[in-house]
Amino acid sequence: MKSETAIDPKIMEEIIRFNKNVFNAPKLVSAPDEIILEVTPHDVVQEIDKTRLLHYRPLTDKQHKTPLLISYALINRYHILDLQPEKSWVRNLLQQGFDIYMLDWGAPTAMDKYLDFDDYINGYLDSAVEHIKNESSVEKISLQGYCTGATLATAYTTLHPESVKNYIATAPVIDGWRDTTVISNLSKNMDVDKMVKTIGNMPPEFMYYCFSVLKPFEQGIEKYVKFFKNIDNKQFVDNFLRVEKWLSDTPPIPGELFKQWIKDIYQENLLIQNKMYVNNNHIDLKKIDMPIFTQVAVGDHLVSPECSMPLHYAVGSEDKTLRMYPTGHVGMIASSLSQKKVLPELGKWLLERS
Amino acid sequence: MESQPTKETIEYYKHLSLFWTDLIHLMSSKPQALGSTGPMRAFATNSKKVATELIEINENLLEFNKYVTEYYKQLAETWNEAQKKVNLKAPEVPHDVEQIDAFKRIWIDIFDNDFTELFDSKKFGENYGKLVSKELDLTKHWNNITNVILQSANLPSKEEIDEVYKELHSLKKRITKIEIELKKKRDVNKNEK
């Protein structure tokens, strides 16, 4: 007699195959530590403290005159914009003939705990812009900010509009009160003064916690199951490991900068209200009067669209474009959608203004 | 809320510890002066500081436990609710690979939605904020104990190192400002020539 609780042989096959894949994984794939994330050749043209200015080597014979500087986020490293050739934001723009620079904020240590908005905006970012202007013999450059890097770039653009020809804000963190993400909820209830006084810089572990509460079961369990199931798929495995390595490379954020960030953006929401000051300089969004292109991802669970879109309506510019894409925070910059839709649209917009 | 007898007990032990460390310090300070350059320097004073910190850590631990219990209670309640929803949506035990995959998808979607709702909620945010704050209080006491040990070994405390960092930061800013002004002057001179 056949038992009603008999297990389908296919299930057993699946379990055996899965276990075999787990066992074979170390023989088939590289350890994340062995993977080098930088793929597009570049030169380091300026180093200040722990920051580096990267200049990517051209991939076309002729380049458009106005160089583009990318101000990457303060969370994790810039590698996500150049993680692998077929999904590289940087490579795509180089292939479209743009001259690309990237500001790598580096990994701050305990001695950097007093670095603040002023150091990042009027120090590192301004030095990078000045360097590019001198090197390229131009009076103005194009500036792109991504995520928290866009908040810095936005503040920079209001303070130094004379240096920015075009401004691209990609998933910018602007209106903290409208942000509906988990990160915003945790930030609003944080005693940031006590945190910085007690531990100095914002520790990477805190960021890991914030990441782990975003889709905890899909990201915490299912993606690893998928990884072992697809262990024979070289392209899948390579992509997975690169993204994982990028995710785990979280530098600390300087204490003072983090404090200002949480207070001014998430708790008091000063930026969008035009009430924010950086070293006594008023950050007035109306001063952004050059062409601006705002890119927002509808499914962004790190910076919600409601948090980014207000920038489009707050700036003083008459030449302004807002684009919304059916993807997530990382999908907007490192996916096939970004290659097929986001970047061609950005390239077209930028070319008309470069 | 912390019960009255517990608070009284803590206060009693705090007083007891301070009384004896103070008394020992008074009794032993003269012969101890002999070791004023070694690691046993100011042993009684340091012991008193460490004892005070340890007692205060206990006070903070009580508060910390309250918030950590609430934290796991919220997680457990959300888990139970999500599991109930899964049971309602997928009452049958899956028998084949396709059914297992479908079940897994439902389970993940419901759990992700419910937990995201929890993490987005005001009650979670507030409790989590208080939990982190208490953790920081514990860290602060640990830092204070470490400082006592560092100073007994003639090493700078965390606060003293912080002062150096602050001074360095301020100096760097001043130098940058001077460099910019010098560059401007040089440019003006160049243009005049």
Could you state, in order of their start, the residue ranges of all structural domains in chain A? 22-353
Q: What is the pLDDT of residue B31?
A: 63
By Cβ distance, the residue of B112, B137, B165 closest to A111 is: B165
Mean pLDDT of A209-230: 84
Q: Around A329, how many Cα atoms within 13 Å sit in the side-chain half-sphere?
A: 20
User: What pLDDT sits at residue A268?
Assistant: 95
How many angstroms away from the CA of B27 is the closest CA of chain A? 35
Cβ <8 Å between B166 and A123: no
Do the bridges between strand A277-278 and strand A281-282 make them parallel or antiparallel, or are there none, so unpaired?
Answer: antiparallel
Which residues of chain B does A213 touch, with a Cβ-Cβ cutoff of 8 Å? 115-116, 119
Alpha-carbon torsion (B178, B181, B187, B193), positive or negative: negative
Give the distance from residue A143's alpha carbon to the nearest chain B alpha carbon, in angstroms: 23
Select, from the ranges A20-24, A149-153, A240-244, B103-107, the one with the highest average predicted confidence (pLDDT).
Answer: A149-153
Q: Provide mean pLDDT across the span A231-249.
A: 88
Does residue A180 have a pLDDT over 60? yes
The answer to whether A215 touches A301, Cβ cutoff 8 Å, is yes
Instruction: Specify the residue for token string 């599991």.
Output: B83
pLDDT of residue A138: 96
pTM: 0.86
Q: Are strands A68-71 and A100-104 parallel, antiparallel or unpaired?
A: parallel
How many Å apart are CA A102 and CA A42, to the nearest integer?
10
* DSSP secondary structure string for all residues of A12-43: HHHHHHHHHHHHHHHHHS--GGG-----S-EE
What is d(CA A121, CA A145) in angstroms, rounded to the nearest whole number?
A: 12
* pLDDT confidence band for A275 (50 / 70 / 90): very high
- Does the structure show a pLDDT above 60 at A42? yes
Nearest to A194 among B96, B133, B170 (CB): B133
Nearest C-alpha neighbor of A304 from the set A187, A176, A209, A169 = A176
CB A171 within 8 A of CB A183: no
Q: Which residues contact A170 (CB under 8 A, 6 or more apart)?
A: A144, A145, A146, A147, A150, A295, A332, A333
B72-87 b/e with 16+ CB inside 10 Å = b? eebeeebeeebeebbe
Residue A131 C-beta-side C-alpha neighbours within 13 Å: 19
Whether B51 and B21 have beta carbons less than 8 Å apart is answered as: yes
In this structure, are residues B24 and B32 in contact, taking their beta carbons and an 8 Å threshold?
no
Rounded to a whole number, what is the distance in Å from the CA of A344 to chain B's nearest CA?
Answer: 33
The beta-carbon contacts of B19-27 under 8 Å, at least 24 apart in sequence, are B21/B47, B21/B48, B21/B51, B22/B48
Question: If DSSP codes are grouped into helix, strand and coil, which group holds residue B34?
Answer: helix
Q: What is the pLDDT of residues A112-128, one digit of tens each?
A: 999 999 999 999 999 99
Closest residue on chain A to B166 (Cα): A114
DSSP A100: E
Residues 209-238 of chain A whose Cβ lies under 8 A from any Cβ of chain B: 213-218, 221-222
Distance from the first to the final alpha carbon of chain B:
77
From the CA of A96, how many Å to the nearest CA of chain B? 36
DSSP-assigned letters across all residues of A130-199: HHHHHHHT-S-EEEEEETHHHHHHHHHHHH-GGGEEEEEEES----GGG--SHHHHHHHT--HHHHHHHH
SS3 label, residue B191: helix
Of the candidates B119, B133, B165, which has its C-beta nearest A113's C-beta?
B165
Interface of B with A (CB under 8 A): 95-97, 100, 104, 107-108, 111-112, 115-116, 119-122, 124-126, 128-129, 132-133, 136-137, 139-140, 143, 161-162, 165-166, 168-170, 173, 176
H helices of chain A, in order, are 9-28, 89-95, 117-118, 126-136, 148-159, 182-188, 192-199, 204-212, 216-217, 223-229, 234-248, 255-261, 305-308, 310-314, 336-337, 343-353
Closest CA to B91 of A14, B115, B83: B83
Residue B147 backbone class (left: φ over 0; alpha: ψ -120 to 50; beta: rest): alpha
* pLDDT of A148: 95
Q: Poorest-confidence range of A17-21, A56-60, B140-144?
A: A17-21
Kindly report the backbone phi and psi dihedral angles of residue B176, in degrees, each rounded to the nearest multiple of 5, phi listed first: -60, -45
Query: Rounded to whole angstroms, how far apart are CA atoms A57 and A43?
Result: 7
- Walking along chain B (193 residues) 10 residues at a time, the average pLDDT comes out as 68 83 73 61 76 88 94 96 92 78 90 93 94 95 92 87 95 90 87 78
pLDDT at residue A29 is higher than 60: yes
**What does each C-alpha distance from B8 to A77, B11, B138 come to in angstroms?**
51, 5, 21
A1 confidence band (pLDDT: 50, 70, 90)? very low
How much is the average pLDDT of A317-342? 94
When pLDDT is averaged across residues A241-262 and rounded to a whole number, the result is: 92
pLDDT digits (tens, 9 = 90+) for A82-108: 988 889 999 999 999 999 999 999 999
Structure tokens that stand for A140 in this block = 């103005």
Query: Could you give the residue numbers annotated as active site of A?
Result: 147, 300, 329
Q: Which residue has the tokens 């012991």?
A: B47
pLDDT computed for residue B5 by the predictor: 64
Chain B environment of A110 (Cβ under 8 Å) = 161, 165
Burial class of residue A286, CB neighbours in 10 A (0-12, 13-18, 19+): exposed
* Closest by CA position to A251, among listed A197, A207, A193: A207
CB A57 within 8 A of CB A99: no
Whether the Cβ atoms of residue A72 and residue A105 lie closer than 8 Å to each other:
yes
Q: What percent of chain A has pLDDT over 90?
A: 69
Three-state secondary-structure class, residue A253 = strand
Q: Do B97 and A14 touch (CB under 8 A)?
A: yes
Please tell me if residue A3 touches chain B, with a CB cutoff of 8 Å: no
Predicted local confidence at residue B96, as pLDDT: 79
Q: Which CATH class is domain A22-353?
A: alpha beta
Average pLDDT value over all residues in chain A: 92
Q: Which residue has the tokens 């070293």?
A: A279
